[in-house]
Amino acid sequence: MAQITKKQSKKPSKKQMPSLLKDQRGLTTVEYIIILCLIAVVGFAVWKKFGETVKERVGEADGTLGTMSGTAE
């Protein structure tokens, strides 16, 4: 088997660690994911409330139509 040398290893060296800690390139992606999750949660809450309102209105309309007597001819 071939031995892995220091240059081939994936583990960062002690000199590279400070630069890795200062690297902020991935932060924008994480921020977008957090914002997307918050928008999804708010969207589900609005959808649930909107769905309940529609269900109530349809029930009221059904009740109103059910109490009407006679048909238009």
Question: Which pLDDT tens digit goes with each residue over 8-35?
Answer: 556 767 666 677 677 777 778 888 999 9
Tell me whether residue 18 is in a domain: no
- This model's pTM is above 0.75: no
Summarize the confidence of residues 37-41 as an average pLDDT.
Answer: 96
Closest CA to 53 of 12, 61, 42, 16: 61
Tell me whether residue 36 is in a domain: yes
Whether residue 3 is predicted with pLDDT greater than 60 in this model: the reply is: no
Tell me whether residue 68 is in a domain: no
Enclosing domain of residue 36: 26-60
Tell me whether residue 3 is in a domain: no
Tell me whether residue 9 is in a domain: no
Tell me whether residue 56 is in a domain: yes
Number of structural domains the chain divides into: 1
Asked if residues 12 and 20 have their Cβ atoms less than 8 Å apart, the reply is yes
Q: What's the CA gap between 19 and 5, in Å, rounded?
A: 22
